Amino acid sequence: MRRLVMSASIAVFATAMGMSGAEFLPLAPGNHWTYQDAGSGQSFTVRVEANQYYLNQNVYHVLRGYTPNRLLVRTNEYGNLVFWDMEREVEVMLTSFEAVPGGLFDAGGRECPEMGQAQEQRVQHGGPAGRWSTLEIKYTPLACADAGDISEQFAENIGMVQRVVNTIAGPRTYNLIYAKLGNQLIAAGNPGTFSVAALPAQESGAWTATLRLDQPMTSQLKLQFASGQEYELRLRDSNGSVVWTWSADKLFTEAAHSVPLRNGWSASVTVPYPLAIPEGPRAYTLEAWLTNIEGDPRFAASTTVEIP
């Protein structure tokens, strides 16, 4: 077995997507997409994790949620998604975006063995999160009668915007309802804008951070929280190391609760200066996000703070 080497983690709060040209599934660390079936209300999330792996002279990203299993994936030289099969030590096609006549491919890593084919004609997608001209991939399950993928739609530099799956109750259509791609947010129904700002506090040795969610007045969105904690903050130094976490010295109730956002939301937090102040750069990155449950829209932001 070849040895896996983990590269340095990259922060979820990336300032750029890091893409060269059009990609049908941007693999920048921290990117994630949430999909929902309008009929059943069921949802799932696809996420690119922060860690990367160097293997077989290629860099692989950790992808969760696209298939039942966690996969190490990359975009190959043809623009297709491939993953590393740990048992066979070979690269396997996950999804091919090459729309050529007769271009069938084995779609590996899925719940059922399937053949896929990218369609030559573009499909206009009009879902809850937006409208795009998409590349559609149709699948033929080879071994499952009531499971497996039927089709997927992808938009350049956005990712998968729709998946239709087969179930014992019939086909279900999962449309994109939320995505975070670097600093770009895509959301159904405009759930609002989240921001964090920080200024030196009146008392010395701290900043006062203001977290704010500006919510459209017409929205009826409620965020669900699994505990009493509703937000988190984290301070990183110029090397990317975490030097302070807001929740580290706090206890929270275990009771789940919801927060209606019709009038927006805000919180004020005191952020202390680090105990060890360096001689060199005194600039830090302050990250903030809401800790609502998976499946809800995700809200995160970051800003730069400096010690005077």
SS3 assignment, position 282:
coil
Neighbouring-strand partners of residue 96: none
pLDDT digits (tens, 9 = 90+) for 177-221: 889 888 787 877 666 678 899 999 877 889 999 999 886 544 567
Neighbouring-strand partners of residue 288: 233, 301
Residue 302's CB is within 10 A of a number of other CB atoms, namely 20
Q: What is the pLDDT of residue 17?
A: 32
Write the single-letter amino acid at 64.
R
Looking at the domain covering 5-187, what would its CATH class be? mainly beta
193-306: CATH topology: Immunoglobulin-like (2.60.40)
The CA-based dihedral angle spanning residues 153, 155, 158, 159, taken in that order and rounded to the nearest 10 degrees:
30
**Domain definitions of the chain by residue range:** 5-187, 193-306
Q: Which of 123-137, 234-248, 264-278 shows the lowest per-residue confidence on average (mean pLDDT)?
A: 264-278
Q: Are 30 and 50 in contact (CB under 8 A)?
A: yes
SS3 assignment, position 304:
strand
125 pLDDT band, cuts 50/70/90, is very high
Report the alpha-carbon distance of residue 37 to residue 299 in Å, rounded: 22
Residue 54's CB is within 10 A of a number of other CB atoms, namely 13
Closest by Cα among 67, 39, 68, 66 to 172: 39
pLDDT digits (tens, 9 = 90+) for 51-102: 999 998 999 999 999 999 999 999 999 999 999 998 899 999 999 999 877 7
pLDDT digits (tens, 9 = 90+) for 12-48: 333 233 333 468 999 999 999 999 988 888 889 999 9
Residue ranges in 177-273 assigned as alpha helix (H): none
